[in-house]
Amino acid sequence: MQENQQAPQQEQEVHDRIRQQIAENPVLLYMKGSPKLPSCGFSAQASQALMSCGKPFAYVDILQNPDIRAELPKIANWPTFPQLWISGELVGGCDIILEMFQQGELQPMVEEAAPEQPEG
């Protein structure tokens, strides 16, 4: 019985952590691997499109964070990864990211949301 009572508590902590990540990072990609070493083709394409926007973005490697991998789809109501969040809103997965990038819609969104990097 004890374990069952722990689960909602842990789930809540993970949800809080995800919400905090989304709130603190104006451009955030949940992906498999990292932008330099993606672990799946979809994550590779999504991070490549984001990097092409030329602005800094945060990422979370869901393979290193199985709790986030399990809980984020419930919060986002989006079953797959990668997931791109801009200004606290779910933009979508790989297909949407690439389509928006090709149509020139992603760049202005990223530019508007991304913090200006201090020089030097």
Instruction: Please state the residue numbers annotated as binding site for [2Fe-2S] cluster.
Output: 40
CB contact burial 95-118 (16+ within 10 A = b; e otherwise): ebbbebbeeeebbebbeebbeeee
CB within 8 A of 111, min separation 6: which ones? 53, 55
Q: Which residues are annotated as a binding site for glutathione?
A: 32, 69, 81, 94-95
* Orientation angle between helical segments 2-24 and 66-76, nearest 10 degrees: 70
Q: Which residues are annotated as a binding site?
A: 32, 40, 69, 81, 94-95
Task: Yes or no: say if 67 and 14 are a contact pair by the CB < 8 Å rule.
Answer: yes
